[in-house]
Structure 1
């Protein structure tokens, strides 16, 4: 009442100022301080799977293991664990009886304990199963950990395609995105790269919108046109979120594919990749298992040089250094060498500086050689002099046209870098592999 009487006799201008300060005090609705301390503060780390017996020289850069990161995420959960995955084979019984499967089995058991004993709500969206990938694990989780499981049939909507995403989302506060499948081999027998973000609900909720799209589509009969507003985002390549990660400032956003699964406000994955390539000033380093300039998994096999053209253009016209590290293993498609040799053939023409190598993960024991679909560099990332990109997709047309996948894009500020930033760490990781004894010229 006293405040009300005073306001009646106030000058209108003074009254407006008084109201602003009152609202600021009571609701925190206005932030009159534009200092850098207003940037949302989170923590983050690159995480990596290094196959058993694969070693680097002393002093080489290293990161926390994928296994430890996923274990930590499960332990942090207080109410919800949401996972989007291609397939599930965390138990050795599904693949091959090898002692290195213990890490995958431990993650599997932690999920059962989380759902059954800790009352954590488990929600899983997986690619629709088939005879080769029957997803026995999720049936066990549904029964023993009360997990809610949905299977997404991308081909039902697009004629072809799969859910290839690898996402963990915890309490809509922490998340993992990267190349590691829900497979014990992805923890101990396959080389993987990912990122984990902690205590970042603003960005995790945006990731949650993508999970919600998968969850919806797994039960839908058609793709919404347009998508309801609840799936919209304000975080994209034009308006990235400004974050402080480990005391360094970044512009961050999440890209997605395929385009029909994206709202109009979401940056499409292939658009993000091309933009990052085009914005490079000095170099583009790429580590990806498969590289192709065509549609590979559906007919007809259409030529699709979107990424290839971008790489050729920036190198030929601006002299950008291109280094591409593919993967050589038993299942490398022969045509991949044609595409890569064609790209490298431009090297030396005008300003073009393009080199290609293949990374080989050897089997050091007979048992390792017998593990199916293992001992491979499964990375899917890119780093330039300004930006880091960690994705879930291989680089052929199918993954961007008809496959569900994600990309995490982070661009550190050029000033006030208090510690070695994630982009620099990703660059150092690439150079470690590029210069290692496991990389050979194509």
Structure 2
């Protein structure tokens, strides 16, 4: 017989290798014993790892939808959702999408066991910032979450940035007391020396998700222009993005970023191995990226690399709509030049003749210096044949009454769309967000035949609507002094 280490023991009368009748007088001579041991070792050392690898590959396929027989995305529905500020009105025939408010309320109502949210801060009630009636939608969401934990017994878990005087945790403290919510905070200055948890993520039952630009703030539902994505019955996407939430949860529990991440937080879906699925007649390659690099376990594509991948894949156009665009770090004690995305756009326009459009927000908190960097891109137009880069500012209309409410009336979108790829993120585009700030980016690449219902096509239509609207202003206008 054999001990646990694989070595043969003596004295087992029923063991064919040790029974005398199988010894020198039988078919097995003494030399066959070491040969047998060697063969077994070969199986253990060579064949089992190969079988294990094959098992991993099969597991990856069935989990992430690469296997044609996989069903984890069969019933998936993905929709773009928006918050359109009160008073911002498009033409009647303009494209419209479901509101962030309606989508959040439906997500809460659909929850059967758990609601997990990662957010920068919480101000869902009117007394949090300003007593305005437009806070009602935020209060509805807050009450629905309260009921979900208190009355329906759902598991609530909230990861948030460490509270401050500007962003207190009154809402989550209340939900912890009244709805048994588990709340954990991440202190990025202590973890990384700078940065914040800038992610905006909902996960329902590890089956449905929301990712986008909307904060847990009533203003994000009625006073700020937001864009996001809701995926229903998409367990592949939900399980993968849940690993990013689990990263936040682990760090907030341990108080540090581990030197080596647990295998359970690794992913096999990334820019090199995207998940493949068909949705609404469209075939997609998709993956989920995150930032910053120290918080990305094995296999996870960094958010910056996802953006550069989308730019590099473009053949005809690149349309970008973000609140801030700077080739700098703007929140560090010393401003640093950070031209990575800026250079990629110049390269796309000059070397590949890709048409670039940037729709960057302008509001009372914008830094006027951004215009100089945008103009330095736009001035390249016609510098060489077929080189074209355009930039506009998107301005949400306001008035003196609305201006009493702090931090509203801005286009807070964070997305990019090209002729082949849709990217929806949670970060503004300056160096800080990719170096030391937590965020998420989702990439959907069209494969094969395309139609008007594709995620990419819908995002392109939103961009054209905004770019051609009365709210998009050329850089040379005097809006800087408004």
How high is the TM-score relative to the length of structure 1?
Answer: 0.90
Q: Does 1:340 align with 2:374?
A: yes
Q: Cα 1:215–1:35, aligned 2, differ >3 Å: closer, same or farther?
A: closer
Equivalent position SS for 1:227: coil
Q: Deviation at 1:382?
A: 0.2
Matched, 1:412 2:452: no
Query: How big is the shift at 1:319?
Result: 0.8
Q: 2 CA distance for matches of 1:410 and 1:297?
A: 30
Q: Report matched runs for 1:12-411 at 5 Å.
A: 38=70, 40-41=73-74, 42-350=76-384, 351-363=386-398, 365-411=399-445
CA contact (8 A) 2:213 2:412 kept: yes
1:258 and 1:404 in contact (8 A); partners too: yes
Within 2, Cα distance between the matches of 1:35 and 1:329?
A: 47
Equivalence for 1:3: none
What CA deviation, in whole Å up to 9, does each residue of 1:402-436 have, x standing for no partner?
00000011112222x46521100000000000000
**Aligned counterpart for 2:455 among listed residues 416, 422, 431:** 422
- Decide whether aligned partners of structure 1 residues 366 and 55 sit closer, same or farther in structure 2, where only a CA change above 3 A counts: same
Q: Structure 1 residue 366: deviation in Å?
A: 4.0
Q: Secondary structure at the match of 2:423?
A: strand
Partners of 1:418 and 1:357 lie apart in 2 by: 28
Contact 2:196 2:436 (C-alpha < 8 Å) held by counterparts:
yes
Distance 1:99 1:225, change over 3 A: same
Q: How large is the RMSD of aligned CA atoms in angstroms?
A: 1.7
Question: 1: CA distance between counterparts of 2:434 and 2:202?
Answer: 21
Equivalents in 1 of 2:343, 2:353: separation in Å? 14
TM-score (norm 2): 0.83
Structure 2: 5+ residue runs without aligned partners?
A: 1-58, 476-482
Q: Is contact 2:225-2:411 (8 Å) kept?
A: yes
- For the Cα contact (< 8 Å) 1:248–1:419, is it kept in 2? no
Find the structure with the greater CA-based Rg. Answer: 2
1:435 maps to 2:446: no
**Structure 1: segments with no counterpart, 5+ residues:** 1-27
Deviations 1:293-331 (A, max 9, x none): 111111221100000000000101111000000001000
Larger mean CA deviation between 196-205 and 339-348 belongs to: 339-348
**2:220 is paired with a residue of what secondary structure?**
helix
Per-residue deviation, residues 99-154 of structure 1 (Å, max 9, x unmatched): 11100000000000000000000000000011111121001110111100000111
Contact 2:289–2:301 (8 Å) recurs in 1: yes
Q: Sort the Cα spacing of 1:400 and 1:113 in 2 relative to 1 into closer, same or farther, 3 A.
A: same
CA distance in 1: counterparts of 2:425 and 2:275, whole angstroms: 18
Secondary structure at the aligned position of 2:156 is classed as: strand
The higher relative CO (CA closer than 8 Å, separation ≥ 6) is in 1
How many residues in Structure 1 have an aligned counterpart in Structure 2?
A: 410
SS of residue in 1 equivalent to 2:93: coil
Distance in 2 between the 1:197 and 1:247 partners? Answer: 16
